[in-house]
Structure 1
Amino acid sequence: MVLMFFNEKSCVSDCSQEEIGQAMRDFVRVCQAVRRVDNGASLVSEVRLEDLELAPGYYLAQWRNESRNRDYWRFMRLLNRKSPHSTVLPAPPDDQDVEYRHNGDRVLGLAAAHLMDALAVSLPTTRAWEDSWLNVDYVLLDEDEIQEDSAEVRHASTPEHVSEHADWIRESAAGTVTSGAQLWEERESLFASLQFAPGVEDDLRNLASVSVPSVRAALLALDTAAAGWKPGDSEPAWPIKVVPESDTRINLGLCNFTDSDGTKRLFSLHTRFRPKPGRIHLRVVAEEGRVRIGYIGRKRLAEDVPRRSRRV
C-alpha cells in the first residue's frame, strides 16, 4: 500500500474560490491516477480533509457541498484516509528532532513523505508544485549535534507526475504484499500488463510464503517487459532470464496449461523463482500484444502433476 502525504502548503495561495475549486478537482484526479496503479493507496493529512481551509475563508466542507463536486467527493470518501501524520509515522527517538522547510516555509506533509519514502501530493495552486520532485532542506538535532542537509521528495500534482512515478508506486505496493493470495487479489493494479490463465489463481493462493518475494519480483519484471513491448517485436525485451522449455519436456506435455478460453495450450517460455525448482510458465499472445501467465509453481515432473513432494 502506497502512502500519499498531503502537502498542506499547497492550500496557501491567492487563488480565488473558482480557481481553488478547480485545483481541488484536479487534485482528486491525481488521487484517482494513483489508485489506478495501486488500488490500496491511502491519503494521509495532518488534519481531516473536511477541516481543510482551501483558500482564505473557503473550506473543503463548502467545496464538497457544491453539486458539481459531489462525484469527486464521493471518490474521496471511498479513498483510504488517515490523519494526523502521527498515525503512520514511527515515533522518533526521544533525543532527536527534525524540521523540514521548502523555500523557507516549514512543511509537514513533505517532511512525512521523505521520512516514509512515500509520495507527496499537492493541489496545483502555484508554480512551486509543478515538479515531480521537490527539494526540501532539513535540520536534524540529534544528541546535541545539529546536522543540516537537503533532500528530494517524490511528488505529484498532476496525473502526468503519477505516470512518472508509476513503476515506483507499483513496486512499492508489491513490496507490502506478503502472501500469494494478495498477489492474486491485487494483480490488476500490480501487474496491469499481464494476463493470467484460470489455474493461476489456485497456484498463487497455494504459493508458499517463502516464495512470495521472488514470485512478486519476477511478475513485476515480466509486467515491465509486457508494458514496453513494441508492435512488430517478436517478444518483449525480458529484463530477467526467460527461456523456452526443452523439447523433451514439451513432448511430454509438461508445459501445457488451460488457457483463458478453456483450451489447453503450450506455455513453453518460463522463468524461475526461488526456492528452486520454482517456475513461472508464460506465453506471448502476439495477436493481442499481451503476455499471459499459465502456471506458477514447482517444476512439473509429469503431466498435471506439479512437483510438490519436496519441501519448499
Structure 2
Amino acid sequence: MPQLFLNEKSCGTKADPDRVNRAMTDMVRAVLAVAREDRAGTLLVSGEPVTALQLAQGHAIQKWIGSPGTKDLWQRLAILQSKWPLREAFPEGETHADVEYRHDGDAVEGLGAAHLTGGLGISLPVDSRWDTDRLTLVREELVDDEDGGSAVTEVDVVHAARREHVATHLPWIRRGANSARQKAVESLRSGTELWARCPELFPTLQFTPLAEQHFAELAEVWVRPVGERLGELQDAVSDWDPARQPIAPQWRSYVRTEFESRRRLCWFPDTDGKNHLFDWHCDFLPKPGRMHFRLLHEERTLRIAYAGRKLDV
C-alpha cells in the first residue's frame, strides 16, 4: 500500500503561475502513475485537505484546476483515497514527536512521514532540488539517556515529482500491490465477492456486460484461481507497450488463442452490443476452468467476457 506524502516545502515558492501549474500537472501525473499500479492501496497524505492546498504563495489549487487541460487530471486525483493531517497516517497512538527530518536545513514533515512509514514522498518539481527519484534527509531523534541528547543520521526516502521518477520505483510498488492483492484474493469465498472487488484489485482490466453473470456462477473452488489469473493479466497489460509488442503482452502464465475449430464458441456480446471474438484464453485449476478475453491494443488492455467451465465441455 503506497502511502504518498506531499512535501509541503515544495509548495512554498514564489514561482510564476504558469510554472507552478506545469509542476502540479507533472506531480499529479506521477501520483496517477502510482495509482495505476495499485489503485486500491494508493493513499494521498497531506497536511491539509487536497482542496485547500496552496501550491505556491498566493496560488491556491483552484487556480490549477481552472487552467487548461487539467479537468481530467483533477477528477482522477479527487477520487483517490486521501488523509490529513499527516499524523492520521501513523499507527494509532504514535506521534513520532521525538523525530525531526530536515533537507538542506529545512524541516520537512511530509518527507519525514514518508520515511517513518515506508511510504513515498511526492513534490511539485518547481525547484530543481525536488526533481529527483530519491532524496537524502537528515534525521534527528531524541535519545533516551541521562544526557538527553539526540542521534543524527542521514537517510534516503523514495520520492517522485514526475512520471519518470515513478518508473524507477515500479518493482517496489508492484511488490507491495501484489502482496496486498494476494491477501485480498485469498479472503474471497464467492464469485460475487470477487466481482465486487475487481475494480479496485484489477483496475486496468475491462469486462463485458455479461461477465458479471459468469463470475456469480463460479464454484467456490474456482474463486481464488480466477483471482490469481486476473492478477497475472493485470500485471501483463500494465507492462504492455503495443508499439514494441504488437501481437500481445508478455504473459505471466500460459495464455494462447483458441484453435480454429473451436473459435465458433468464443463469440460474446461486448460493450457496443455487438458480438466479438474472445478467443484469447487462459486456464485455471481445477480443470476444466477457463477464462476468455480479447485484446484492446489502442487502450493497452484486455476485456474479459467469460470465466467458468471450458466451453462446450
* Same fold, judged at TM 0.5 (above): yes
How far apart, in 1, do the equivalents of 2:56 and 2:132 lie? Answer: 22
Structure 1 contact 5–120 (Cα < 8 Å) conserved = yes
Structure 1 contact 99–106 (Cα < 8 Å) conserved = yes
Q: Percent sequence identity over matched residues?
A: 29
> Residue 180 of structure 1: which of 185, 194, 200 is its match?
194
Structure 2 contact 208–269 (Cα < 8 Å) conserved = yes
Q: CA RMSD in A?
A: 4.8
Residue aligned with 2:212, SS = helix
Structure 1 contact 95–143 (Cα < 8 Å) conserved = no
How far apart, in 1, do the equivalents of 2:217 and 2:137 lie? Answer: 45
Provide closer, same or farther for how the CA distance between residues 277 and 49 of structure 1 changes in structure 2, counting only shifts above 3 A: same
Provide closer, same or farther for how the CA distance between residues 67 and 258 of structure 1 changes in structure 2, counting only shifts above 3 A: closer
> Residue 252 of structure 2: which of 213, 236, 239 is its match?
239
The answer for the alignment partner of 2:157 in structure 1 is 153
How far apart, in 2, do the equivalents of 1:99 and 1:211 lie? Answer: 50
Provide closer, same or farther for how the CA distance between residues 209 and 98 of structure 1 changes in structure 2, counting only shifts above 3 A: farther
Residue aligned with 1:259, SS = strand
Structure 1 residues not aligned, in runs of 5+: 305-312
Tell me by how many angstroms 1:183 deviates. 3.6
User: What are the Cα deviations for residues 75-118 of structure 1, in whole angstroms up to 9, with x where unaligned?
Assistant: 46555432101222213669994433334433221222233333
Structure 1 contact 180–207 (Cα < 8 Å) conserved = no
The answer for the alignment partner of 2:120 in structure 1 is 119
Structure 2 residues not aligned, in runs of 5+: 186-192
> Residue 223 of structure 1: which of 234, 253, 256 is its match?
234
The answer for the alignment partner of 2:213 in structure 1 is 202
Residue aligned with 2:253, SS = coil
Provide closer, same or farther for how the CA distance between residues 285 and 90 of structure 1 changes in structure 2, counting only shifts above 3 A: closer
The answer for the alignment partner of 1:64 in structure 2 is 62
How far apart, in 2, do the equivalents of 1:230 and 1:123 lie? Answer: 31
Structure 1 contact 99–138 (Cα < 8 Å) conserved = yes
Tell me by how many angstroms 1:5 deviates. 1.4
Provide closer, same or farther for how the CA distance between residues 55 and 229 of structure 1 changes in structure 2, counting only shifts above 3 A: closer
Structure 2 contact 21–64 (Cα < 8 Å) conserved = no
Provide closer, same or farther for how the CA distance between residues 126 and 287 of structure 1 changes in structure 2, counting only shifts above 3 A: closer
2:263 matched to 1:259? no
How far apart, in 1, do the equivalents of 2:290 and 2:143 lie? Answer: 48
The answer for the alignment partner of 1:308 in structure 2 is none
How many positions carry a matched residue from both structures? Answer: 290
Tell me by how many angstroms 1:234 deviates. 5.9
Residue aligned with 1:4, SS = strand
Structure 1 contact 243–271 (Cα < 8 Å) conserved = no
How far apart, in 1, do the equivalents of 2:196 and 2:289 lie? Answer: 19
Structure 1 contact 183–216 (Cα < 8 Å) conserved = no
The answer for the alignment partner of 1:281 in structure 2 is 291
